[in-house]
């Protein structure tokens, strides 16, 4: 993920680790940024698998680890001057698969423990919200050529925050398994709020630009 899109967790936690690890990997030319991207995806897939196998605490830790690795590929690309359009494309696509795998695993875990069609629905909305947060950011950049100014629109449901919430909720699930379902609900809530705030901000920007053009 580009550094300019970093959320609060990346700024204060993930980047401090990813930069150090990227500096170490930069001394090994055979390790490419795309390799790191794929490793991060595999870690996320493992997270989803462990959720499905009902090891929620481990799934949460792996989800956060994949979030940290998500910053290493970009840092490594900068350090080794191997930044390419395809690298950014690959990272973006695989992140969507990674997020979907994690939330699918959480949904299966929650369904095994809570049951009910509402659990499946919540999981589907978590996946959809996660995808739309990324899509609205890219779409808004194409429309207005600017980034979101409001803190809620810009930060609230960024990938680093979503996966950090997943880790915290999963670790707390050792107290009660219901917390995995509540974690999915939190993901649905913050992604929905973020998408609405982004839509409002873009609507205002488009109207302002139209007003300027008509003067």
Q: How many CB atoms lie within 10 A of CB 54?
A: 16
pLDDT of residue 149: 66
| Integer Cα distance of 174 and 61 in angstroms | 13
CATH topology of domain 3-207: 1.20.120
pTM above 0.85, yes or no: yes
Own/partner contacts of 173-180, CB < 8 Å, gap of 24 or more, are: 173/56, 173/57, 173/60, 174/56, 174/57, 177/56, 177/109, 177/110, 177/113, 177/114, 178/113, 178/114, 180/51, 180/56, 180/106, 180/109, 180/110, 180/113
Q: What is the 3-state secondary structure (H, E, C) of 44-102?
A: HHHHHHHHHCCCHHHHHHHHHHHHHHHHHHHHHHHHCCCCCHHHHHHHHHHHHHHHHHH
| Integer Cα distance of 5 and 129 in angstroms | 17
| Integer Cα distance of 91 and 94 in angstroms | 5
* 168-207 per-position pLDDT tens digit: 999 999 999 999 999 999 999 999 999 998 888 888 877 7
The whole-chain average pLDDT of the chain stands at: 88
**Domain ranges across the chain:** 3-207
Regions of the chain with pLDDT less than 50: 214-215
pLDDT of residue 168: 97
pLDDT of residue 11: 81
């Amino acid at each position: 993920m580009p550094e300019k899109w970093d959320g609060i967790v990346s700024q204060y936690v993930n980047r401090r680790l990813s930069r150090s690890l990227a500096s170490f990997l930069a001394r090994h030319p055979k390790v490419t940024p795309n390799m790191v991207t794929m490793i991060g995806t595999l870690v996320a897939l493992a997270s989803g698998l462990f959720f499905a196998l009902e090891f929620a605490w481990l799934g949460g830790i792996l989800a956060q680890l994949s979030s940290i690795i998500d910053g290493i590929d970009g840092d490594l690309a900068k350090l080794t001057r191997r930044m390419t359009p395809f690298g950014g494309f690959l990272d973006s696509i695989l992140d969507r698969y990674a997020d979907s795998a994690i939330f699918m695993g959480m949904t299966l875990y929650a369904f095994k423990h809570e049951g009910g069609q509402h659990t499946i629905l919540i999981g589907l909305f978590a996946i959809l919200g996660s995808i739309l947060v990324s899509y609205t950011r890219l779409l808004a950049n194409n429309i207005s050529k600017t980034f979101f100014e409001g803190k809620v629109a810009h930060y609230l449901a960024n990938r680093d925050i979503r996966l950090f919430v997943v880790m915290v909720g999963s670790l707390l699930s050792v107290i009660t398994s219901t917390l995995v379902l509540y974690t999915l609900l939190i993901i649905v809530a913050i992604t929905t709020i973020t998408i609405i705030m982004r839509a409002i901000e873009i609507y205002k920007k488009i109207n302002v630009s139209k007003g300027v053009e008509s003067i």
